[in-house]
Structure 1
């Protein structure tokens, strides 16, 4: 595809054009295709005009109906276009600098993260992630942001999961993102994740006034054969840093914070108590 088609709106136009081309090649009216798919002719018309967001199930149904290449493995023509639309949408809504970070995170064999304000994306439930979003944003943008966060969590379930360590400032647990029900579910998820062999979740309580913890959040990525990377955020901009001295010092700071944080058993009990405040 041409580079200008990497914008999600352009990709939706391309999806509509492909749908119209295949429908006409099959000598079907919009009414006939709608009847075959169990939807309305207006729905078909809106997709062809790129006035309607494309769902994954619709893409799969179109592949099945038109028997596109790969449809028997849920990787047909329309599903590939849907995937491209979703990917382009995620990239468009990413914080500046974070797109570069996401190119490296899936390759990491180790992740160390200090979260100073909110639950880090790798540990967020879907409900918590949605509650973090600005409701004034377009629905497509919100869905893209949520999908991006949840997709990243494949780091925990791949064949060789990354070894991860998270330190959460107490404020992460006290900030009622989404309200009590969302926070109860989120804290339950944190406790569940902390019991996995390759995941460590520790809490930094308020009474531990650690200078390193007051300087803000950070993420350190470790790779099998490449140098470590540091990711930090300042305002609304993300910074991916490879300078060896900066990365080394960030590792020192993280280790100091681990020494000041509650141990695993204490952290789990602390999270349980924080959960009770929302019950």
Structure 2
């Protein structure tokens, strides 16, 4: 007899998702293999998701809703599931980020998470360990869904020139990432400026930071160290963060000149040239 793991639906969003999948599958009179055939996956994957050993994707959830005629239940649930896979210390910030009406950030090392391509995110998140990498990448991509809302937040990003030149994931990944930044510039509510090396000493040398503004709540400044993130609404911290950001922004290239620099670096550093193994870039 197969040992079916009992789930506590209240334990986590993932447990609730798994228990609902099992319940609705059984109500439909379908075995795991039968449902797998309908949604184009293996019976093993159905079983792993039902027992929380695997995290579902948004695409899988959409196929489930169509197969089981759930009215979009799993598509709604998967957002909660993927948010719950973010690091515990980061979840509070992600919630505030999703509520913000205006996001301004300075990034010295990496492209801001909301603007990362999937390939770039995979390289960043897999730099230390590849454990649960697919889940981590899916959670980051899910976080980016706020960009496609009917009323997205205004996002103003200042990136150090070093972000453009630090090769993350290989030249193909970097070329795609820089091309994506250029495409984002076409959205009126996304502004990207580059702080060039020529700016010299500037107020961002003390580290990266993000400012969140809301319609009805106090502003928040967010910083990270190598262990966790820190949020505060302390007025003195907000004032200092705003002042530093204004100075960084003033030292950066204009939006138009920044786009030109991104395009130039994309061609000069990541253009059509052989990869180390001899493959040509597309």
Question: TM-score if structure 1 supplies the norm length?
Answer: 0.79
CA offset at residue 7 of structure 1?
6.7
Which region of structure 1 is more displaced relative to structure 2, 157-166 or 125-134?
157-166
2:92 counterpart of 1:100: yes
The 3-state SS of whatever aligns with 1:117 is coil
Match of 1:5 in 2: 11
The 3-state SS of whatever aligns with 1:5 is coil
CA offset at residue 145 of structure 1?
2.4
Q: What runs of 5+ residues in structure 2 fail to find an aligned partner?
A: 1-6, 272-282
CA offset at residue 198 of structure 1?
1.7
1:62-211 matched pairs, under 5 angstroms = 62-68=64-70, 70=71, 75-76=72-73, 82-90=78-86, 93-94=87-88, 96=89, 98-134=90-126, 136-139=129-132, 142-211=133-202
Structure 1 residues 162 and 182: alpha-carbon distance in aligned structure 2, compared to 1, 3 A threshold: same
Structure 1 residues 269 and 105: alpha-carbon distance in aligned structure 2, compared to 1, 3 A threshold: same
Distance in 1 (alpha carbons) for counterparts of 2:153 and 2:43? 47
The 3-state SS of whatever aligns with 1:201 is strand
Which region of structure 1 is more displaced relative to structure 2, 219-228 or 41-50?
41-50
The 3-state SS of whatever aligns with 2:152 is coil
The 3-state SS of whatever aligns with 1:277 is helix
8 Å contact from structure 1 (residues 16, 50) kept in 2: no
CA offset at residue 137 of structure 1?
3.1
Residue by residue over 1:134-178, the C-alpha shift from the partner in whole angstroms, topping out at 9 and shown as x without a partner, is: 274333xx2332233223333333222322211111111111001
CA offset at residue 5 of structure 1?
1.5
1:37-56 matched pairs, under 5 angstroms = 54-56=56-58
Structure 1 residues 35 and 219: alpha-carbon distance in aligned structure 2, compared to 1, 3 A threshold: closer
Question: TM-score if structure 2 supplies the norm length?
Answer: 0.79
Distance in 2 (alpha carbons) for counterparts of 1:110 and 1:266? 23
8 Å contact from structure 1 (residues 115, 167) kept in 2: yes
Match of 2:225 in 1: 234
Distance in 2 (alpha carbons) for counterparts of 1:154 and 1:44? 25
Q: What runs of 5+ residues in structure 1 fail to find an aligned partner?
A: none
The 3-state SS of whatever aligns with 1:207 is helix
8 Å contact from structure 2 (residues 83, 91) kept in 1: no
CA offset at residue 79 of structure 1?
5.0
Which region of structure 1 is more displaced relative to structure 2, 220-229 or 32-41?
32-41
Residue by residue over 1:65-95, the C-alpha shift from the partner in whole angstroms, topping out at 9 and shown as x without a partner, is: 5544x2xxxx14x5555555433323xx35x
8 Å contact from structure 1 (residues 15, 81) kept in 2: no
CA offset at residue 63 of structure 1?
4.6
Say what the alpha-carbon RMSD is for the aligned residues.
Answer: 3.0
8 Å contact from structure 2 (residues 84, 91) kept in 1: no
Equivalenced residue count is 263
- Counterpart selection for 1:14 from 19, 23, 28: 19
Residue by residue over 1:3-33, the C-alpha shift from the partner in whole angstroms, topping out at 9 and shown as x without a partner, is: 862174x45663565367436xx3x666666
